Amino acid sequence: MMVTNLWSIISKGDLLVHIIAVMVLLCACNDASAETFGRMEDLNTAAAFDEDEDEFEDEADTAGADKRSGLTDFTFTLAHDLSWATREPDPGIVTNRSSLRCEFDKSFWDNLFIKFDGKASLYLENDHVAEAGGKDADVDEEIREFYIQAGFDRFMIRAGKQVVVWGETDGDVINDVVSPRDESEFIFMDLEDSRLGQYMASMDLYSDYGDCLFFVTFKPGFNETPDRGTRYYRGLGDAVVTEERTEFSDREAGFKWKKIFDKFELSFMTASLLQNAGVLEHQSGNVYNKVYERYGFYGVGASYTIGSFLFKIDASFKNDYSLQSKGIEFQYGKKERNISDAAFAIEYDANGRYTMNLELTNRHVFDYSKELCGMDRNNTGLYFQYNKKFFNDTLEFEYASYHQFQEKNTFHKTELDYSFSDDIELSIEYVFFQMTDRESFLWNYRNEDRIGAELKIYY
């Protein structure tokens, strides 16, 4: 139709109109040319774009394939960690240790899968762990995970030493109550590295109504605290503390359900657990027993994303949870209370320029009484995290801080990670404390500011 109209114009107009009409007709006939359309300068510029195309030395097309060798199922991480305490009265080297971590996983036959994750550490001279043992060097090893699993289309069962992570938020322990943590290095160990495996049998079920997890723990483990004589040990003077041990017949059990509704995710959790953190109970004289009591756990987690924001909520109710109390003549004991823990978090991504995470947490103790030690009726904290990457993600800066409102205690953590190559990384970290409440537990750590460096080599 357009061509017909144009032709009628051509047939009626003068020469100039004819020329223009012919040009338009050519366009309509899809016969575009540089002379007809667009800006000529663009085309000329474009034509010159090829000039450096062949100037590259062609790198090996199969660089990745060539690198892969027989050890594809293994990842070894060799690391050395060196840190210094920076504040009086006890400045100097705190950690001087090397470690070798081995991670292995492999599928075999049709449905089976095995995973191993273990680490051996060598504590060298001046490291506080070696010094505590009165040795020039000390070694230890830890198997974090070692399990076998059988997978099928709709479900999977897993048995062995495992880590289970629950919850949406990271600032406090709200719903992430299953796996105990290694607190022997106080707050200086990253959350990811601090989780400890337990012997468990678990089953995951995947359905249109949501994903479910059931687990049973045998011989539950507890948080690892600093050993006597090590840098971060804060004991009760000359008190003798005996620790409760679990047997293989001791059990924990739990269940989680999770479903995604478009931008919204919802999960419910319930479990019967032994507390990961122990409570001291006076026996006689200067003898205390550290006990890990059973409690009921009920939790809910949710997240919702819109644009640059991710909103996260964790809330839990812990029934008959044992808390530390301080009685007459400063004797420690345990008091059972119901408590509710909650966290609300906002995560912001500035379109790749940086990310921020802000979490407000609160623990409320029902039937609060003054004898409860190191806590108020409400215990509110604010966790903040900022992360920015530079130079094509080879340099990463992170700042994190945690502020406790009632005790007005704060600590700050800054970290700089640089990867020299695909396989070599260096992390530098500085942690400092601002403690104001003399009655708080953290007051004992007010002089533990520390700067550290860790070199990691992967192969």
Partner 1 sequence: MKKLLLILAMLIFTGAICSAQDAKEIMRKVDDRDDGSTEISRVSLTSYRYVKKNGKNVPAEKPRVKVMDFIKKDYGPREKDHKSVSIMIEPKSERGISFLQYDYEEVGRDTDQWMYLSAMGKVKRIVSGNDNEPKTGSFFGTELNYEDMEAYALDDYTYKILGSETYRKRECWVIEATPVMRKAIKSNYSREIFWVDKERDFTLKSVLFNRNGKKSKKIYRAKIERIDGILVPMKIVVNNIETKRRTTMIYENIILNRPVEDSYLTQRTLSDKGFRERKLKEYQKTMM
Span 235-294, contacts to partner 1 by CB under 8 A = 260, 262-263, 265
Instruction: State which residue, 27 or 277, has the beta carbon closest to partner 1.
Output: 27
Per-residue burial over 338-347, b if 16 or more Cβ lie within 10 Å, else e, is ebbbbbebeb
- Count, residues near partner 1 per rule CB under 8 A: 94
By CB under 8 A, is residue 453 in contact with partner 1?
no
Out of 142, 349, 398, 437, the residue judged to bind partner 1 by CB under 8 A: 349
For residue 458, the minimal CB distance to partner 1 (Å) is: 4
Supply the DSSP symbol for 440.
S
Instruction: State which residue, 285 or 307, has the beta carbon closest to partner 1.
Output: 307
For residue 165, the minimal CB distance to partner 1 (Å) is: 4
Nearest to 105 by CA among 72, 78, 141: 72
For residue 79, the minimal CB distance to partner 1 (Å) is: 11
Instruction: Report 146-205 residues binding partner 1 (CB under 8 A).
Output: 149-151, 153, 156, 163-165, 192-193, 195, 204
Instruction: Report 359-378 residues binding partner 1 (CB under 8 A).
Output: none
Phi, psi (5° rounding) for residue 368? -65, 140
Question: How far is it, in rounded angstroms, from Cα 242 to Cα 283?
Answer: 10
Question: Alpha helices, DSSP H only, in 151-282?
Answer: 191-194
Question: How far is it, in rounded angstroms, from Cα 58 to Cα 40?
Answer: 33
Segment contacting partner 1 by CB under 8 A, of 78-86, 272-280, 284-292, 342-350: 342-350
Instruction: State which residue, 210 or 374, has the beta carbon closest to partner 1.
Output: 210
Question: How far is it, in rounded angstroms, from Cα 416 to Cα 394?
Answer: 10
Instruction: Report 87-146 residues binding partner 1 (CB under 8 A).
Output: 105, 107, 110-113, 115
Instruction: State which residue, 127 or 185, has the beta carbon closest to partner 1.
Output: 185
For residue 196, the minimal CB distance to partner 1 (Å) is: 12
**Using an 8 Å Cβ cutoff, are 175 and 167 in contact?**
yes
The 393-432 site mask, x for binding partner 1 (CB under 8 A), equals xx------------------------x-xxx-x-------
Question: How far is it, in rounded angstroms, from Cα 417 to Cα 452?
Answer: 12
Instruction: Report 25-54 residues binding partner 1 (CB under 8 A).
Output: 27-28, 30, 32-39, 42-43, 46-47, 49-50, 52-53
Q: C-alpha dihedral over 363, 364, 370, 371, to 10 degrees?
A: -60
Segment contacting partner 1 by CB under 8 A, of 336-344, 368-376, 387-395, 433-441: 387-395
- DSSP, residue by residue, 323-368: EEEE-GGG-EEEEEEEEEEEEEEEEEE-TTS-EEEEEEEEEEETT-
Instruction: Report 315-334 residues binding partner 1 (CB under 8 A).
Output: none
Contacts with 79 (C-beta within 8 Å, 6 or more apart), sequence order: 98, 99, 100, 101, 454, 455, 456, 457
